[in-house]
Chain A
Amino acid sequence: MALYEGPVQNLIDELGRLPGVGPKSAQRIAFYLLKAAPEDAKRLAQSIVDAKDRVSWCRRCFNIAEGELCAFCKDERRDATLLCIVEEPRDIVAIERTAEFRGRYHVLQGAISPIEGVGPDQLRVKELLHRISGEGVEEIILATNPNIEGEATAMYLARLLKPAGIRVTRIASGLPVGGDLEYADEVTLGRAFEGRREVDA
């Protein structure tokens, strides 16, 4: 359906391959770019090229990194005895916002999903085992998503890591701050009760 001239159609086709951008949106963005000031469009093009050239996976934790190691692995002030396992780099950002954790991370780049045919071999599990033996890790915190894939991954890793004699913990699950108890589902509320703790007043 090449209705436009070469370069315009190419732009529309390329934009249309982005997630969540349909043909109509692609067309709108393409015409916005054509109308925009040349330096704006060039800046966008240059930032895409820069990001693709300079950003890769951290050699140690598989977070996104500029260079060999990511910012968390380079930072010597971080506690190397604590290792937090997450599914995606975006999860690190969420955990960093809490300012509660000062250890290092390991990104699995996915979760075990039996129904999608994703097993432990497709994740960065082997690399994780290498790290544990070499880096003096004392505690592993499993911070995968609390859905069926994340739970399966956490259980699998716990089974794998427990025999190595390392403390393996799972992040707690419970009620969201600002929510109403009556709307909580049974599983979450049940876990919140299991994980209750004494109040220090």
Chain B
Amino acid sequence: MSGLYRDSGVVLRTIKLGEADRIITVFTQGNGKVRAVAKGVRKTTSKFGARLEPTTHVALQCYRGRELDVVTQAETIEANRALREGYGLLTHAIPMLEAVDQVAQEREPNPALYRMLTGALRTLATTRSPVVTPAFFWKLLSLEGFHPLLDACARCSENDAPLVAFDADDGGMLCAPCARGGGRPVSPAAFDVLQRMLGGGLNSVLADPAGPAVGEVERLAVTVLEHHIERRLRSATLL
């Protein structure tokens, strides 16, 4: 396979290359994760440099290379400009990009993940809700085959006792007796947010005002995601 191709994707990260070039990592609709050289984009006269910044959703034309492709054209689909102009939004958007970068495979299309990422960035840019990032992490885990068990104890399958803790190894909530042997305590409010988030009530959670429960769900999501990808999410320290 060689030659030109067109695709649309979200720019995940950029690395400086040489004097004026960048290597961009794009999560595309049709080609999965792609790494490509964008030539001359650090010069002020670059025609598409501004379109290849992280968080931007772009339509690309690339030339397929052996290891790295070369970007020949780029047009913006969604600039997601709001994300770049608020510190709080940016620190919530970047961890989503990093998570996708870790999970996605090169040249392996993942349409569900693509829809989720573009949707999450759009929602974050328009609603500015702090719920978007933790919800994205949980849905990402679910998509990766790690849907947490929330309706019964993940260790003893007891479904009458209240569930009070989360354990990443067991992959779900634990009841009080099981939680004595490990697991991270989860407050009832946070458990409620988590249940609605994954149980089809995402819109109702998005409408919630920011509270301590959302922060708790977010920290839990980061821990579980890091456990799953077996790597630290570096940008999550700014959340």
A: residues with CB less than 8 A from B are 20, 114-117, 119, 146-148, 151-152, 155-156, 159, 176, 178-179, 183, 185-188, 190
Residue of A nearest to B45 (CB): A176
**Min CB gap A90→B, angstroms:** 12
Contacts of A116 in B (CB 8 A): 234
Partner of B95, one of A114, A178, A186, A188: A114
Q: Contact check, A115 vs B90: say whether CB atoms are below 8 A apart.
A: no
**Min CB gap B103→A, angstroms:** 15
Contacts of B238 in A (CB 8 A): 114, 119
B53, CB-defined interface residue at 8 Å? yes
Q: Contact check, B53 vs A115: say whether CB atoms are below 8 A apart.
A: no
Q: Contact check, A117 vs B237: say whether CB atoms are below 8 A apart.
A: yes
25 A/B residue pairs, CB under 8 Å, sorted by A: A114-B91, A114-B94, A114-B95, A114-B235, A114-B238, A115-B13, A115-B54, A117-B237, A119-B237, A119-B238, A146-B50, A148-B14, A148-B55, A151-B84, A151-B90, A178-B45, A183-B47, A185-B47, A185-B48, A185-B49, A185-B50, A187-B53, A187-B79, A187-B84, A190-B79
Residue of A nearest to B236 (CB): A114
A-contact bits for B4-18, CB 8 A (1 contact / 0 none): 000000000110001
Task: Give the distance in Å from the alpha carbon of A190 to the alpha carbon of B85 in the complex.
Answer: 13
Given A152-B87, A155-B85, A155-B90: A115 in contact with B234 (beta carbons within 8 A): yes
**Min CB gap A126→B, angstroms:** 18
Contacts of B47 in A (CB 8 A): 183, 185
B44, CB-defined interface residue at 8 Å? yes
A-contact bits for B114-133, CB 8 A (1 contact / 0 none): 00000000000000000000
Q: Most chain-A Cβ atoms within 10 A of its Cβ — which of B48, B50, B94, B98?
A: B50
Contacts of A155 in B (CB 8 A): 85-87, 90
Residue of B nearest to A173 (CB): B50
**Min CB gap B101→A, angstroms:** 8
**Min CB gap B57→A, angstroms:** 12
**Min CB gap B158→A, angstroms:** 41
Q: Contact check, B54 vs A148: say whether CB atoms are below 8 A apart.
A: yes
Partner of A156, one of B50, B55, B87: B87
Task: Give the distance in Å from the alpha carbon of A176 to the alpha carbon of B48 in the complex.
Answer: 13
Interface pairs A-B: 3 shortest CB-CB: A114-B235, A155-B87, A117-B234
Partner of A179, one of B45, B87, B91: B45
Q: Contact check, A20 vs B18: say whether CB atoms are below 8 A apart.
A: yes
Q: Contact check, B234 vs A188: say whether CB atoms are below 8 A apart.
A: no
Q: Contact check, A185 vs B90: say whether CB atoms are below 8 A apart.
A: no
**Min CB gap A170→B, angstroms:** 10
B214, CB-defined interface residue at 8 Å? no
* Interface members, chain B 101-159 (any A CB < 8 Å): none
Q: Contact check, A114 vs B234: say whether CB atoms are below 8 A apart.
A: yes
Contacts of B79 in A (CB 8 A): 186-187, 190
Residue of A nearest to B89 (CB): A155
Contacts of A151 in B (CB 8 A): 84-85, 90
Contacts of A185 in B (CB 8 A): 47-51, 76
Task: Give the distance in Å from the alpha carbon of A190 to the alpha carbon of B84 in the complex.
Answer: 13
Q: Most chain-A Cβ atoms within 10 A of its Cβ — which of B18, B54, B55?
A: B54
Q: Contact check, B53 vs A147: say whether CB atoms are below 8 A apart.
A: yes
**Min CB gap A87→B, angstroms:** 12
A-contact bits for B25-57, CB 8 A (1 contact / 0 none): 000000000000000000011011111011100
